[in-house]
């Protein structure tokens, strides 16, 4: 009876511990709808427009422009970038491409998705998508693995004909992530996320502002909800704990089955 109760308690603990791990695999929540969506894009890495994950950003531009946005991605997330380009009524065949770069401006390859698409003449719009690899908490210096920090989206048309240069277009981008969790967890973490920043000084006053403080410019100030985790938590902890509990219960059960009733055996008379 005691052994049955022990295994019943173990199964209950298994179910309770697995619930948070399953919940972690759901897509990341979108920010509140009261936040104002950006309506313009940057023209370089330095001027990229910051957006939150799940936020829809729009911009009007001319065919041939390079459009840049940036968003934060943390360890354990698998970001997906969606882009839509609404084309003018009169245009020739155009090819549009969306690229994603990390905080070190390294181009990240897409696992899958239509990163490049060609729109035939007269096509009203073209949709692009790029699903990145899962962001790792730590990586070797020589590797090109995605790491926590700022990610840049670049949208542009490639191989344009001269007649299409300068035609007005409207664009829309959105970045979202799916939390992968334990399967992507690694041992180790970055001391700081890859968020670009630069300190600028004034040529007139030697770098001090009027109040005596030095001027500092941060190229990206946005971060995930709840801050940067740097991979300190993983649902592997949950499953490791469950394994330890089950191993202990198995040991207790095996001992209970093999130790017998615990009473001393009767010695026959005359022995």
State the Cα angle at 30 between 80 and 192, rounded to 5°.
Answer: 65
34-73 per-position pLDDT tens digit: 457 899 999 999 999 999 999 999 999 999 999 999 999 9
Neighbour tally for 77: CB within 10 Å: 25
Backbone φ and ψ for 5, nearest 5 degrees, come out as: -65, -40
Nearest CA to 174 out of 52, 48, 2, 10 is that of 52
Packed helices 2-23 and 236-258: angle between N→C axes, nearest 10 degrees: 170
Nearest CA to 148 out of 180, 192, 201 is that of 192
- CB-side neighbour CA atoms (13 Å) of 254: 6
pTM value is 0.69
pLDDT in the model for residue 256:
79
Residue 23: pLDDT over 50: no
Residue 26: pLDDT over 60: no
Domain 31-233 has CATH 3.30.1490.190: no
186-245 per-position pLDDT tens digit: 666 777 888 886 433 333 444 444 555 444 444 556 777 777 774 455 555 565 677 777
Dihedral angle over CA of 212, 218, 219, 221, nearest 10: -140
Asked whether 92 and 121 are in contact (CB, 8 A), the reply is yes
Portion of the chain with pLDDT greater than 70, in percent:
66
pLDDT in the model for residue 193:
83
Residue 136: pLDDT over 70: yes
Q: Strand pairing of 149-158 and 49-50?
A: unpaired
């Amino acid at each position: 009876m005691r052994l049955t109760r022990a295994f019943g308690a173990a199964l209950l603990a298994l179910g309770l511990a697995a619930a948070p791990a399953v919940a972690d695999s759901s897509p990341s929540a979108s920010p509140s709808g009261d936040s104002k969506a950006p309506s313009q894009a940057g023209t370089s890495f330095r001027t990229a427009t910051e957006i939150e994950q799940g936020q829809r950003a729009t911009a009007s531009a001319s065919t041939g422009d390079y459009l840049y946005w940036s968003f934060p991605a943390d360890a354990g997330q698998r970001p997906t970038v969606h882009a839509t380009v609404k084309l003018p009524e009169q245009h020739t065949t155009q090819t549009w491409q969306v690229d994603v770069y990390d905080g070190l401006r390294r181009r990240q390859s897409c696992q899958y998705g239509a990163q490049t698409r060609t729109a035939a003449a007269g096509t009203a719009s073209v949709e692009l998508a790029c699903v990145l690899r899962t962001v790792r908490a730590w990586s070797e210096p020589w590797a090109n693995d995605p790491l926590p920090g700022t990610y840049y989206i670049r949208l542009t048309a490639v191989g344009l004909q001269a007649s299409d240069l300068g035609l007005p277009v409207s664009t829309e981008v959105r970045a979202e992530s799916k939390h992968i969790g334990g399967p992507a967890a690694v041992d180790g973490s970055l001391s700081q996320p890859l968020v670009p920043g630069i300190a600028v000084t004034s040529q007139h006053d030697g770098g001090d502002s009027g109040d005596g403080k030095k001027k500092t410019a941060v190229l990206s100030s946005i971060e995930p909800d709840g801050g940067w985790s740097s991979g300190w938590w993983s649902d592997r902890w949950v499953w490791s704990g469950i394994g330890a509990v089950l191993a202990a219960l198995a040991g207790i059960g095996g001992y209970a089955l093999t130790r017998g009733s615990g009473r001393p055996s009767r010695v026959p008379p005359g022995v």
